[in-house]
Amino acid sequence: MKNFKFKPTFITFSVISIAFVTLSWGIFGHEHINNAAVMALPKPLQTFFYNHVDFITQESTVPDLRKYTLRDKAENPRHFMDMENFGEVESIPLPFDEVKKKYDEKFLSDNGILPWYIQEVMAKLTKAFKDKRKTEILFLAADLAHYIGDANMPLHTAVNHDGQLTNQKGIHSLWESRLPEMFGKTYSFYTGEAKYVDNVEKATWAMIKDTHSQVEPLLLIDRKLRETFTAETMYEKDEKGNIAKNKFGDLIYSKEYATQLHAALNGMVESQMRKAIVATTNFWYTAWVNAGKPNLDNMDSKELTNRNKKNLKNDLKLWKTGKLFGLESENDFN
């Protein structure tokens, strides 16, 4: 793809992250969100990000690596928010300092801190831009995109996060990983150019609320569809004829069920991915603007930028058709 010189530690994170199946948008989803968000940036910010588009794309799953592989205890609550357990939305304090006064540490660990952590990473990214710390900018931008991606996945905002309360277990990974992998190549990733966000806190909560509004429709569609299938037709079988399971012990749904569910959802998965792209590119751009629009030209060699000019031009043309270079043939499970 492009021309970013990875340090050995970066390679280790990337290889390990690609080696396991994540439980939040999967590799396909997060990589496409990050990649498309780069294409949506305005110049001159786009030039800098495009010089490192491989890094930003591949590092999209690092937060899941910290959570599942490195077992970082602090990481888990950053990926979700069980909104129902916080009470009425209007009663939830917006500043995180006030949240920590109202809810104890265990409650927040159990029920998630996703919207507040998005704002925390956003503040760090803004400072990294201001201080022109290249490595931090790239890492934080990739991390921020991951959490914004999670914030646009409905079941990351619900207590019934895997349908475990309504006999729909496995819906989580089916919706956010299997469906994008099977049908993502038909999605359009063109979303238009990034826009400045006047109020990051307000925008974050609007995103969370909008995503949460999709929880019940998602689960209802799945419940109704299940009524038309039997265990014999709903799940894949292993070589012994038993219902197949993945490495996490989740039942593997049949291609027929996945296909019908995707159709019944009527574009919901694609829509949420597109919302994640828009929010990601808007937040990156806003962090840069709030940092004073620092000149990033001297952070890369002129040779690297010049070498990528033609590629950027071609990739932008492709993106405007809805496609992303180098990603459309990956993860094709049809």
In 3D space, the residue among 63, 48, 62, 37 whose CA is nearest the CA of residue 283 turns out to be: 37
* C-alpha closest to that of 315 among 2, 6, 43: 2
18 vs 114 pLDDT, higher one: 114
Instruction: For residues 298 and 53, give the distance between their C-alpha atoms in angstroms, rounded to a whole number.
Output: 17
CB atoms within 10 A of CB 297: 11
What b-and-e string marks burial along 178-194, b requiring 16 or more CB atoms within 10 Å of the CB? bbbbbbbbebebbbeeb
pLDDT of residue 328: 60
Report the C-alpha dihedral over residues 233, 239, 243, 248, rounded to 10 degrees: -130
Which tens digit of pLDDT belongs to each residue from 218-241?
999 999 999 999 989 999 999 998
> Per residue in 108-158, pLDDT tens?
999 999 999 999 999 999 999 999 999 999 999 999 999 999 999 999 999
DSSP H stretches of helix in 188-267: 200-212, 215-226, 231-234, 255-265
* pLDDT beyond 60 at 14: no
- Give the mean pLDDT of 312-326: 95
Tell me the pTM: 0.91
Mean pLDDT of the 73-96 span:
94
pLDDT in the model for residue 200:
97
Give the Cα separation of 317 and 195 in Å (integer): 20
Give residue 156's pLDDT.
Answer: 98
How many Cβ atoms sit within 10 Å of the Cβ of residue 287? 26
Compute the average pLDDT of residues 60-83.
92
Q: Which CATH superfamily is domain 8-215+269-319 in?
A: P1 Nuclease (1.10.575.10)
Interval 276-288 mean pLDDT: 98
